[in-house]
Structure 1
Amino acid sequence: MFSVTTILFYLAAWAFLLHSTLRREDLKEKRLLAFIALGTLAHFLAAFVSIRTETAYQFGFFKVPSLFFAVINLVVLISSIRKPLHNLFLFLLPLSVAAILVSGLEQSVMKTSSQLSLKAISHILLSILAYSLLTIASLQALLLSYQNYQLKHKHLRGVMGLLPPLQTMETLLFELVWAGEILLTLSIITGFLFTESFAEQHLSHKAVFSMISWLIYALLLWGRHTLGWRGAAAIRWTLGGFAALMLAYFGSKLVLEIILGRV
Structure 2
Amino acid sequence: MKLLAVLAMAFYLLAAFACVHNMLNPQSNRRYYSLLAALCAMLLHGLWLFDSVVLVPGQNLSMLNVASLVSLIICVLMTLLVTRFNIWLLMPLVYGFAGILLAADVLLPSYYSMYLETRPEVLLHIGLGLMSYSLLAIASLLAILLGFLNHRLKNHKLSNLPAMPPLMTIERYLFRLIFVGVVLLTLSISSGLFFLQEMFSPGKAHKAIITIVAWCVYVGLLWGHHRLGWRGRKVIWTSVAGSLLLTLAYFGSRFVREVLLR
With structure 2 as the length reference, what TM-score do the two structures score?
Answer: 0.91
Partner Cα distance (1:201, 1:29) in 2:
50
Shift of 1:84: 2.7
Residue of structure 1 equivalent to 2:102: 100
Partner Cα distance (2:85, 2:97) in 1:
22
Shifted more, 103-112 versus 218-227: the winner is: 103-112
Partner Cα distance (1:136, 1:143) in 2:
11
Partner Cα distance (2:60, 2:107) in 1:
13
Shifted more, 134-143 versus 81-90: the winner is: 81-90
Partner Cα distance (2:12, 2:77) in 1:
15
Residue of structure 1 equivalent to 2:16: 14
1:23 paired with 2:25, answer yes
Code of the aligned partner of 2:182: E
Shifted more, 116-125 versus 128-137: the winner is: 116-125
CA gap of 1:83–1:201, structure 2 versus 1, over 3 A, is: farther
Instruction: For structure 2, list consecutive stretches of 5 or more residues without a partner in the other structure.
Output: none
1:63 alignment partner, SS class: helix
1:111 alignment partner, SS class: coil
Does the aligned pair in 2 maintain the 1:2–1:42 contact within 8 Å? Answer: yes
1:57 alignment partner, SS class: coil
Residue of structure 2 equivalent to 1:206: 207
CA gap of 1:148–1:14, structure 2 versus 1, over 3 A, is: same
Partner Cα distance (1:124, 1:73) in 2:
19
Shifted more, 168-177 versus 210-219: the winner is: 168-177
- Identical residues among aligned pairs (%): 32
Query: What are the Cα deviations for residues 110-135 of structure 1, in whole angstroms up to 9, with x where unaligned?
Result: 22125342211111111111111111
1:64 aligned to which of 66, 69, 74: 66
1:138 alignment partner, SS class: helix
Residue of structure 1 equivalent to 2:247: 246
Q: Note the 1:190-229 alignment, pairs <5 A.
A: 190-200=191-201, 202-229=203-230
Does the aligned pair in 1 maintain the 2:221–2:235 contact within 8 Å? Answer: yes
Partner Cα distance (2:88, 2:51) in 1:
28
Q: Note the 1:91-170 alignment, pairs <5 A.
A: 91-113=93-115, 115-159=117-161, 161-170=162-171
1:44 aligned to which of 38, 46, 61: 46
1:162 alignment partner, SS class: coil
Partner Cα distance (1:20, 1:155) in 2:
20
Shift of 1:81: 2.9
Q: Note the 1:70-85 alignment, pairs <5 A.
A: 70-85=72-87
Query: What are the Cα deviations for residues 156-195 of structure 1, in whole angstroms up to 9, with x where unaligned?
Result: 2222x43211111111111111111111111111122231
Aligned length: 260
Does the aligned pair in 1 maintain the 2:18–2:33 contact within 8 Å? Answer: no
Query: What are the Cα deviations for residues 30-89 of structure 1, in whole angstroms up to 9, with x where unaligned?
Result: 333232222212111112222235312222222211100111111112223323334321
Partner Cα distance (1:8, 1:255) in 2:
29
Residue of structure 2 equivalent to 1:173: 174
Partner Cα distance (2:84, 2:183) in 1:
22
Partner Cα distance (1:131, 1:34) in 2:
26
Partner Cα distance (1:21, 1:260) in 2:
42
With structure 1 as the length reference, what TM-score do the two structures score?
Answer: 0.91
